[in-house]
Structure 1
Amino acid sequence: MGPRANTLGLIFKDDYILLEEQEGKHSKGTGVFYRPIGGTIELGEKSQEALKREFMEELGVEIIVKRYVTCLENIYKIDENIGHELTQIYVVDFKNEDLYERETFTITEGPYISRAKWMLKKEILSDYYVLYPNGLKELFLNGKIDV
């Protein structure tokens, strides 16, 4: 299988960032990990449009794409399987400002259900939490993402 193109949206509220919480095997072991909301870019689809579609499919909400941040290339290994993602990163806002008052969001992707919650940015950047994709934490720590 070749590289996968995907897109992720960073939503901020004060000193918090909205992240999906997942649990399972990942490239750093097994357990809980976090990632921004988003998903796969379909063939013929622009990354911004894919991001809007993913937020609608997974959370049932509309977003406004504020700005492009960068593309991260994430090559990782889980067990003996190698994964390769090219990830377009954007800063986005909820179209409906009332959504910023919610503490958690249910994410539905086919039969899979998870949740997203507001995480304190300085905590998620600590070594205690696992944040994906690889390289995202470094973008924050090096000042490449400033809100």
Structure 2
Amino acid sequence: MIHGGAGTGKIRKSSKHAQDISKALENSVSTGYDILEKSDGDAAAVNAVESAVASMEDSGLFNVGIDSCLILDKRIEMNASIMNGKDLAAGSVGMVQHMQNPVKLARQVMERTDHTMFVSDGPLELAKLFNITVAPVEPFLFIIDFHLLRE
């Protein structure tokens, strides 16, 4: 099961944007399902979840990855978490910047550290330690001045 968010705006079902969202959700599910079909062993479910979420992070259509909401100073900060239901291992990162797929780092927290969560500058330092690509992630679409929306 996946979920693409629950924003306050309504999207016309017949719109191009709604079709793009539907296609991205189908792609995310297919990505995860393909991994489950081809994989065997304990890591299969976690691999499928990580890949499905990364697919959504890469799409630019959801409030994750390259299209995350902006914080007050118009920078992207993201959160991600992942959990293995078999042994209840979990990993998460918060206030992540400069990373396209924070879910991949959350998995590293789960599997390679004694911690459950890293926040602030911690995820960036951990990504460097684990040789995970760190680069500025610019907003995928465009920046909206939310003050204008209220007037």
Question: Which of the pair has more CA radius of gyration?
Answer: 2
More helix by share: 2
TM-score normalised by the chain length of structure 2: 0.25
Task: Name the structure, 1 or 2, with higher relative contact order (CA <8 Å, separation 6+).
Answer: 1
